[in-house]
Structure 1
C-alpha cells in the first residue's frame, strides 16, 4: 500500500483549509485557485493507490471538495450577473410565472437595435444559494462587498441639466437614458468620499424658477450675469471681464437666499453642487481637507459648475479665535486655496469651464476676511418691499380660493417688516382658518365623514386679520441695522 508522505498530506490539508477560509472571507478568486490545486493533488494521489478501500475514501473526499468548489463558482457567477443587472431589478419580487413559448417566434432583433448591455438573470437556484451562503453574506458586509455594490451607481450622469450633449442633435435634458454621459474618475480617492459628494449633485430639477421668487430683481440680475451670460457670450467674458468666481448672498433669515440658489440650479443648466457643513466634515483626521479638494476637482470636471454652500459661516468662520479647532482651520485653509485655484484657472480658460461658488449666510460679520475677499460679489437680500409682499401673497395664494373682500394691498401694509418666510407662514395659517371653524365641535367620526367640497371654503380678510394677531415678524430692527452697516462697509453689488 502506498503511503502518502507527511509533506504531501500537510500540503493537501493546508490547501483545503485555505480554500475554505478564503471563501468565508469573500475572496472567491483565491479560494477557487486553492480548491483547484487540492482537487488536482488528490486526483494524482488516487492514481497511485493500490488499496481499493482507501482509494474509495479519497475519492469521496475529492467529491466533497469538488461540490464546495462548484458552490464557490456559482457564487462568483451570481456576483458577475449583478454587475450588469439594474439595482431595481435585482431586488424586485419575482411573482410572475414564466411565460409559455409562443406558437410563432418573432424574427430576430437586428444587431444595431439590441441593448449594448447584456443583462443576465441569475436563476432561482443561484439566488437561493446566494441568500443562504454565509460566505457571500460576509463578503457583502465587508469593504469589498461595498465596493462592488457601489460600482454601478447611476451617480451624476443626469446632473448636467439642459446642456447639449453631442453633435447628433440629442440635447441633454437630465434624461437618465443618456448612455454617453461622462463620469468622474475617482482614482486615487476613497470611493466613499466620491460617492458622498456625488449625492450632493442636484441631478433632479428643483423646480424653482425666477418667477417663483418675488421681487429681488437686483439679485436675479447679478446671478444671471455671473452664471448665464458667460455661457451665452463666451468671447466677451475673458481677461478682465472674466466671470465672477464667488458670490455671497447676505441677509436676514427667510428672505429667499436658498430659493435663489435653487432657481440657479433650475434655470441655468449648470452642474449644481448643494454643499453643507456636514458634507465637508469627517471624524477622521485629514479627510475633511481631502473632501474639499475632491469637491473642487469634481466641479472642474463637470464644469460649468455652481457650488452652493448654505450657511457658509459654519464652515469658514474667522481664523485665529480662541475657540477655533485645528482641524477646522485646515479645512478653511484648503477651501481658500481651492477657491484661488479656481480663479487662476479662469483667467486664460474657456468661460464654459467656469466654477462659481455661490454662498449664503445670515452672519456675514463672522466670515473670515480671506474668504470675504474671494467672494467678489457680496449682495444684500433685504426684507421684501411693499410690491414684493403683494407678489409673495399672490404666489402663495394662487392655489387657494379667495373671498370677494380680500385686499392684498392692505395685507401687504399690515405685514411690513415680515420676511418672505414669515409671509408664507401667514398665508398657510390663514388658509386653514375656515377648516378650523368648520370642524370645531365635531367628533372624529363626523370629521372623517366631511366631504372635500365642505372644506373648500374661500379665505377671507378676517382670516388674515386673526392670523396676523398670532404670527409676528421674526427679524428685529436691530438686526437689520447690523446688516445695513456691514453692507455699507464690505458690500460689493
Structure 2
C-alpha cells in the first residue's frame, strides 16, 4: 500500500473540511478508506489488522462528522429559502385609498416611537449641518470630511444631509487616496485572499456510487514523470504534444478541420514506455487525468458497466480539458463477433464506441478537450470500429543504441560508477532489450557489490556493516555478470508481427 498517497488523502480531507469544502473532504476520506480496505484484504497479520481497523474507525468518525455538517447545512439552506419566501410575501402591501388607518396596536406603537426617535435625531443632524454650513461659508472653505474613525461617521452623515437639503449641489466625494494607499501597502491575510472552490461533478441525476468509483480513479496527485525522464520516443512525444499541449496554447487554430486528435493508440512490445508516456502527459500537460482499466468499467450488476462508460465520458467533458488513459484496451474492446464474446461485453464495447464517436451529444464541440489515450500489446485484437476512432496509432519500438545509452545514464545517475565502465559498450551489448529489461539489468548490476560483500557472513555481521562498505562503484564486471543473468523478453517473431501491423494500420 502507498502510505504517502494514504496520508495525502487523509490530510486533503481534513484541510478541505476545515475550509468548508465538505464534498471534496468526503471524496478524500472515501479514497483513504478504499486504500485501507484494499490493504486489509491481503493482510494476514492480526496485530496490524487491529491497528488498521482502529484507523478505519477514526476516519469513519471524521467522515460522519462531515456528513452531519453537510446535512445540517442542507437543512439550513432549505429553511432559509422558505423563510425568505415568506419575508418577500410579507413585504407586499395593498394600500387602499380613501380609507382611514386602523387603530395602532402595541407593535405599531413601538414602531411609531422608533420612527419618532429617528426623525428627532435627523432634525438634530440637520441643525448641526446648518451651523457648520454657516461657519464654512464665513471662512470660505469647503466642507471636507475629517480623517479619523470618530469623524468619519459624522462626515458621511453631513454629506448625506447636504445632498438632501441642497439638491442642486453635486455630492462631495470622499478622499480615499490615503486609505487606498494604506490598504495597498498592507499585506493581505489568508482571510482576504479568495479561496478556490473545487469544481464538483453534479451527481444528482446519476448513481452516486458509480460516480464515486470513477472519482477514485481521477489522478489528483502529480505522477512526477517528465518528458526528460523518458529516453527517445521523439515521434510519440511530438504527437502527444500536438494532441494535448498545443490546443490549449493555440485554441483559435485548432478548430473545424484542425480540431485536435481525440484518439491516440500506443502499441508495441511490453516494457517500452507506453505507460510512462501517459504519466508524463498527466504531469506535463496539466489536465484532468483518468486512469481507467478493465476492472474500473466492470460490474457484476446488469447495465452498470454501460453506465460507468457513459459517466466516464460525461465527467471527462465536465472536467475538460481531460485525458482518459485506458491501459490494455484490448481487454475491454476486443474484436466483436467471436464465439466466446458475452452479451454484457458486447454492450460495453458498443457504449464505448458510441461515447468515443460523440454520436449521442447534441453539441458537436462537446468532445473537444477530451483525449482518449490507449495502450496495448495486442493491436491485432482490437475491433475495427475502435481502430477507426483511435485516429493516431503509434508504434513504440524497442530502444535503439542512442536510446539505450541515454537510459543507462538515467538509471545510473544517482550511483557511483567505476573508471573501467564504458556505458557505450554496455549499450551495444543490450541490443534487443526493452526498456524494462534494461532497467532490470541496471538494478542487478547495482546489487552485485552488495552480494559480494555479504557473501559468507551471518545476519549479525551483515547488520553491523556500514553503508559505505556496501555502496561501492559499479564496475564493468558487474554488468557482465548481470547480462549473463538476464535475458531479453521480446522475441524477433513478435517484433516482425508489430512491424507488419504498423505498415498495414499504423498512423503517425
| Secondary structure, aligned partner of 2:218 | coil
User: After superposition, what is the alpha-carbon deviation per residue over 1:416-436, rounded to whole angstroms, capped at 9, x for unaligned?
Assistant: 000000000000000000000
What CA distance in whole angstroms lies between the structure 2 residues aligned with 1:382 and 1:244? Answer: 22
Following superposition, the deviation at residue 345 of structure 1 comes to 7.5
Structure 1 residues 282-297: aligned runs within 5 Å: 282-297=299-314
Following superposition, the deviation at residue 200 of structure 1 comes to 0.6
Q: Does 1:398 align with 2:418?
A: no
Describe the shift of the 1:377–1:285 C-alpha distance in structure 2 as closer, same or farther (beyond 3 A).
same
Partner of 1:304: 321
Partner of 1:430: 445
Describe the shift of the 1:147–1:283 C-alpha distance in structure 2 as closer, same or farther (beyond 3 A).
farther
Describe the shift of the 1:147–1:451 C-alpha distance in structure 2 as closer, same or farther (beyond 3 A).
closer
Following superposition, the deviation at residue 347 of structure 1 comes to 5.3
What CA distance in whole angstroms lies between the structure 2 residues aligned with 1:234 and 1:413? Answer: 44
Following superposition, the deviation at residue 189 of structure 1 comes to 1.6
What CA distance in whole angstroms lies between the structure 2 residues aligned with 1:184 and 1:337? Answer: 22
Structure 1 residues 144-159: aligned runs within 5 Å: 148=67
What CA distance in whole angstroms lies between the structure 1 residues aligned with 2:298 and 2:21? Answer: 38
| Residue of structure 1 aligned with 2:279, choices 252, 262, 266 | 262
Partner of 1:62: none
| Residue of structure 1 aligned with 2:384, choices 359, 369, 376 | 369
What CA distance in whole angstroms lies between the structure 2 residues aligned with 1:442 and 1:210? Answer: 43
Partner of 1:457: 472
User: After superposition, what is the alpha-carbon deviation per residue over 1:44-73, rounded to whole angstroms, capped at 9, x for unaligned?
Assistant: xxxxxxxxxxxxxxxxxxxxxxxxxxxxxx
Describe the shift of the 1:348–1:288 C-alpha distance in structure 2 as closer, same or farther (beyond 3 A).
closer
Describe the shift of the 1:210–1:355 C-alpha distance in structure 2 as closer, same or farther (beyond 3 A).
same
What CA distance in whole angstroms lies between the structure 2 residues aligned with 1:147 and 1:220? Answer: 43
Describe the shift of the 1:343–1:311 C-alpha distance in structure 2 as closer, same or farther (beyond 3 A).
farther
| Residue of structure 2 aligned with 1:325, choices 328, 336, 342 | 342
User: After superposition, what is the alpha-carbon deviation per residue over 1:434-490, rounded to whole angstroms, capped at 9, x for unaligned?
Assistant: 000000000100000001111110000000000101100000000000000001100
Partner of 1:222: 239
TM superposition score normalised by structure 2: 0.63
| Unaligned 5+ runs, structure 1 | 1-84, 91-113, 119-139, 153-176
Describe the shift of the 1:463–1:342 C-alpha distance in structure 2 as closer, same or farther (beyond 3 A).
farther
| Residue of structure 1 aligned with 2:266, choices 242, 249, 259 | 249
| Residue of structure 2 aligned with 1:474, choices 472, 489, 499 | 489
What CA distance in whole angstroms lies between the structure 1 residues aligned with 2:474 and 2:335? Answer: 48
Describe the shift of the 1:449–1:259 C-alpha distance in structure 2 as closer, same or farther (beyond 3 A).
same
How many equivalent residue pairs?
A: 338
The answer as to whether partners of 2:297 and 2:305 remain within 8 angstroms in 1 is: yes
TM superposition score normalised by structure 1: 0.65
| Unaligned 5+ runs, structure 2 | 1-10, 23-58, 72-193
Partner of 2:45: none
Q: Does 1:316 align with 2:341?
A: no
Partner of 1:4: none
What CA distance in whole angstroms lies between the structure 2 residues aligned with 1:417 and 1:399? Answer: 25
Describe the shift of the 1:467–1:387 C-alpha distance in structure 2 as closer, same or farther (beyond 3 A).
same
Partner of 1:182: 199
Describe the shift of the 1:148–1:476 C-alpha distance in structure 2 as closer, same or farther (beyond 3 A).
same
Q: Does 1:272 align with 2:289?
A: yes
Following superposition, the deviation at residue 256 of structure 1 comes to 0.1
User: After superposition, what is the alpha-carbon deviation per residue over 1:370-424, rounded to whole angstroms, capped at 9, x for unaligned?
Assistant: 0000000000000000000000000000111000011111001100000000000
User: After superposition, what is the alpha-carbon deviation per residue over 1:292-332, rounded to whole angstroms, capped at 9, x for unaligned?
Assistant: 00000000000001000000000000001000010000000
Following superposition, the deviation at residue 147 of structure 1 comes to 11
- Runs of 4+ in structure 1 deviating by more than 6 angstroms, as ranges, are 114-118, 144-147, 149-152, 342-346
Q: Does 1:388 align with 2:403?
A: yes
| Residue of structure 2 aligned with 1:420, choices 422, 435, 438 | 435
What CA distance in whole angstroms lies between the structure 1 residues aligned with 2:204 and 2:235? Answer: 42
Partner of 1:12: none
Give the CA RMSD over aligned residues. 2.9
| Secondary structure, aligned partner of 1:432 | helix
Q: Which has the larger radius of gyration?
A: 2
What CA distance in whole angstroms lies between the structure 2 residues aligned with 1:392 and 1:150? Answer: 52
| Secondary structure, aligned partner of 2:504 | helix
Describe the shift of the 1:452–1:318 C-alpha distance in structure 2 as closer, same or farther (beyond 3 A).
same
What CA distance in whole angstroms lies between the structure 1 residues aligned with 2:363 and 2:445? Answer: 50
| Secondary structure, aligned partner of 1:306 | strand
What CA distance in whole angstroms lies between the structure 1 residues aligned with 2:499 and 2:360? Answer: 29
Q: Does 1:446 align with 2:453?
A: no
The answer as to whether partners of 1:365 and 1:486 remain within 8 angstroms in 2 is: yes
Following superposition, the deviation at residue 190 of structure 1 comes to 1.7
